Amino acid sequence: MRIVVCVKQVPGTNQVYLDPETRSIVREARHAVLNPYDTFAVAWAARLGSQHGWETLALSMGIPAVEKLLRDSLCRGIDRAVLLTDRLFAGADTWATANTLAMAVRKLGGADLVLCGKMAIDGDTAQTGPELAECLGYAVVTDVTDIKEVSRSQVQVSRHTESGVQTLLVRLPAVLTVAKDSCPTRMPSIADLARGASRPLECWSAANLGADPDRIGQRGSPTRVVCTETPPMKKQSRRLEGTLEQQAASLECIIREIVS
Amino acid sequence: MPQDLIRPMTSDQADYLRDESRLIGQAEWIAFPETEQQLREILASCRRSGRPVTIQGARTGIAAAAVPAGGVVLSLTRLNRVRGMKQNADGRYVLCAESGVILSRLRKQIEDRHFAVSDWDEPSRQIFEQFRRDRTQIFTPDPTEATASLGGMVACNASGARSYRYGPVRRHIQGLRVILADGQTLDLQRGREKAAGRTLNLTTEQGGQLRIDLPTYALPQVKSAAGYYAADDMDAVDLFIGSDGTLGVVSQIELVLQPLPDQIWGVTCFFGEEEQAWQFTEQVRAAGETGLLALEYFDRQALALLARYKAGHPAFARLELPQRPFGAAIYCELQGEREDQLLEAVARLGRQMEHAGASPEDSWVARTAFDRDQLLFFRHAAPECVNLEIDRNRQREPSLTKLGTDMSVPNDKLPAVMRLYREDLKASGLPYAIWGHIGDNHVHVNILPRTAGEYETGKTLYRSWARQIVAWDGSVSAEHGIGKLKAEYLALMFGEQSLSEMKRVKNACDPGFLLGRGNLFAPPEGRKTE
């Protein structure tokens, strides 16, 4: 049985810079972090892997510096890691990304469970997980808040909906995208760091995957980014004057304006 | 009196009568100067009318130095601009900031490289352009309360976890502008205004002459924020740093910045027994680990308190705790330029754990921002839990306050002082939790009295520890300052002769004894507690 956990490097939340020339996000290694939702996917993979004795593998597509994040996953209890890195992968939208990740999962011989964070905080699309399921022909459940009763053929999961908690029994193989705080995270110990350093980490290129260049990277992406802009800061301030009662009345008017 | 600058206190200004020590003072007047000129006018006016003046920053101090003892509250909260930037002889960036600037805000400005530079002079703006392009800088002092004001930090020579590596605020101050009690101004630069032996001759900007005969005592060779600094040929700035708002009003501070290390990792090591943690500290110190920024301690009681609050208080639910109870924990912070250096340093810490009888499996290594936030939450949760515990006890007995010590001892007395605290506390039956800066032999013992009787027992213990620590050549205050609450321990530490030498310094700077009345020397008249 095998769990594949997909992770992504994103810019630190408060440190997003746009390249003034290309208008794309500057992916600088120093300011990069693991997508926060993926932290919980890694925690789930390590927990389920150690509970059930399943093999765990971390998978990412990105620049060579992403190796550092994968190494960190290995220190958190993941058995092995694969980084998909190649200039041909660059500029991929969610569809081309899902396609590439699916090729890697197939090259591995498939997975029983694929875990992703519910979305990445840079693109905010929440599309890659479900698209990966589509590419692989696996079942998918998004925004999972709990995973329990795992067997070799099925898994019971919960997700919050507007009307309450939905519990689903999902046949494996399946893709689950997990919510924030859905699993307690665990910091690696000093001993884990030494273990993580000795675990296998491979880099695969487009050629390794046998990928058709027309189905990966920018060429394989139906999405066209016409323009990316930093929205201008809109700030309106009005000074309330008069007695407390008059100020309260003015404030009431403003609230009515906004909600009407 | 400049009526528009000094106004009567109103009932909605009661917050200005207290600080984080929760002692409540009294005052008739309050002033919020916005410029140094206004500050001079206020002080000159108070001098003429003989009104005592209590200087306040952000009122985050816990030794009650900012609690007024009658007269005028001088709040520096509106003196809060960063005025410029320069580079010192070592090529370090130096920020010129007014006293009321809040540390957390300054940190954000430094991190974002964003200052309101429109009022800055041309040389400052040029240096700022270079600063914007240069590697990220930090102001290293890190007191737990980041909402402290810079003036308050200077007044008590504040420290924090990283003072293990970087030392207290004093080490990061290049210059001060000080307004004396008569409104005259001193512009002091480290290396320029210096004492000859133990005599300091200063000239004010207004041309006044000041001769100060510095105290003759030798300061203890431990981390200390107790009493006036004194040394042969010392810099004049050092006299005003740590003077608890008694010698003058600091209006502007020149802070020296450092380049931010490329990598900072936090490692929390857990131990079955407290003795193992003490031994680990001594080993790590002796090994001279160069990248070590901080060594912080949590005893068995502190860890148990955290576990109790995690289980019973939603605000602490996300607190990460070890799977089983431990006797103690040490938080080590490491800095380095390369990841491989840090990996080696962490491995060395693992071996030191084994030497001390612990296992490197029982540790957490925080290398990512997410994990570092978790550890910061863990470290700051201990004081928060203690405050909640005290608030709960006060509902039954409103007169209670926390009894928190701030004493330090020389390296060779670390196990002895830790044993002293633990044995006395166990024998007394008082609830307590100990944490703090074990790398500097400076832990905070927090006694959590439930009754007035337990409070008195705690006070008696505190006094007996202060006597022992003075006998061991330690300090009765390592970072909080003496303020009003620890005046009796200052007398114990220095003795009558040295106290009279401090009063001589006070008299030279503030002959009317108007500034910070009740700080260091005598309890203020008419003070009352909650």
User: Per residue in A157-199, pLDDT tens?
Assistant: 999 998 999 999 999 999 999 999 999 888 999 999 999 999 9
Q: Which two tokens mark B294?
A: 């901080």
Q: What's the rounded Cα separation, in Å, for the pair B319 and B311?
A: 10
Q: Is B166 helix (H, G, I), strand (E, B) or coil?
A: helix
pLDDT value at B530 more than 50: no
pLDDT confidence band for A233 (50 / 70 / 90): confident
Contact A194 B347 (CB under 8 A): yes
Distances (CA, A) of B352 to A59, B131, B274: 35, 40, 15
User: Per residue in B189-199, pLDDT tens?
Assistant: 999 999 999 99
What is the Cα gyration radius of chain A? 22
Provide the residue ranges of all domains of chain A, joining segments of one domain with +: 2-215
Closest CA to A39 of B367, B15, B474: B367
Contact A193 B320 (CB under 8 A): no
List beta partners, residue B250: B178
Q: What are phi and psi of B306, to 5 degrees?
A: -60, -45
Would you state the pLDDT for residue A231?
A: 77
A190 and chain B in contact, CB less than 8 A: yes
pLDDT value at B526 more than 50: no
List beta partners, residue B30: B7, B73
Q: What are phi and psi of A223, to 5 degrees?
A: -75, 135
CB B267 within 8 A of CB B364: yes
Would you state the pLDDT for residue B329?
A: 97
pLDDT value at B108 more than 90: yes
Among partner residues A185, A187, A197, which is closest to B365 by beta-carbon distance? A187
Q: What rounded mean pLDDT belongs to chain A?
A: 91
User: Per residue in A8-25, pLDDT tens?
Assistant: 998 875 556 666 666 666
Would you state the pLDDT for residue B528?
A: 34
Q: What's the rounded Cα separation, in Å, for the pair A164 and B206?
A: 74
pLDDT confidence band for A259 (50 / 70 / 90): confident
Would you state the pLDDT for residue B230?
A: 97
Would you state the pLDDT for residue A25?
A: 64
What count of CB pairs under 8 Å joins A to B?
Answer: 58
Q: Which two tokens mark A4?
A: 């594949």
The residue of A17, A72, A185, A193 whose CB has the most chain B CBs within 10 angstroms, and thus the best one to mutate to test that interface, is A193
Average pLDDT of span B128-140: 94
pLDDT confidence band for A142 (50 / 70 / 90): very high
Give the gap in angstroms from C-alpha B86 to the nearest C-alpha of chain A: 27
What is the residue-wise DSSP string for B423-462? HHHHHHT--EEEEEEGGGTEEEEEE--SSHHHHHHHHHHH
Q: What's the rounded Cα separation, in Å, for the pair B66 and B77?
A: 13
User: Per residue in B26-54, pLDDT tens?
Assistant: 999 999 999 999 999 999 999 999 999 99
CB B393 within 8 A of CB B402: no
pLDDT confidence band for B363 (50 / 70 / 90): very high
User: Per residue in A109-136, pLDDT tens?
Assistant: 999 999 999 999 888 899 999 999 999 9
Average pLDDT of span B452-470: 96
Average pLDDT of span B411-423: 97
> How is residue B68 annotated by DSSP?
-
To the question of domain A2-215 being in CATH 3.40.50.620, the answer is yes
Which residues, 6+ apart, have CB-to-CB distance to B270 below 8 Å?
B322, B326, B328, B329, B358, B362, B363
Of the two residues A84 and B367, the one the predictor is more confident about is A84
Q: Which two tokens mark B164?
A: 């293990």
Find the residue in B nearest to A14 (Cα). Answer: B112
Would you state the pLDDT for residue A23?
A: 61
A181 and chain B in contact, CB less than 8 A: yes
Q: Of the given ranges (A100-109, A201-210, A227-236, B438-447), which has the lowest mean pLDDT?
A: A227-236
ipTM: 0.84
% of chain B with per-residue pLDDT over 70: 98
> How is residue B368 annotated by DSSP?
S
pLDDT value at A107 more than 60: yes
Reported pTM: 0.87
Average pLDDT of span B95-104: 98
What is the residue-wise DSSP string for chain A? -EEEEE--EEE-TT---B-TTT-SB---GGGEEE-HHHHHHHHHHHHHHHHHT-EEEEEEES-GGGHHHHHHHHHTT--EEEEE--GGGTT--HHHHHHHHHHHHHHTT--SEEEEES--TTT----HHHHHHHHHT-EEEEEEEEEEEE-SSEEEEEEEETTEEEEEEEESSEEEEE-TTSS---PPPHHHHHHHHTS-EEEE-HHHHT--GGGSTGGG---------PPPP--------SSHHHHHHHHHHHHHHHH-
pLDDT value at B389 more than 80: yes
Q: Which amino acid is at B17?
A: L
Q: What are phi and psi of A243, to 5 degrees?
A: -70, 170
pLDDT value at A62 more than 90: yes
Chain B interface, Cβ < 8 Å to A: 262, 267, 269, 318, 320, 339, 343, 346-347, 349-350, 353, 359-371, 374-375
Average pLDDT of span B88-114: 96
Closest CA to B434 of B277, B272, B269: B277
Angle, vertex CA B446, rays to CA B440 and CA B451, nearest 5: 165
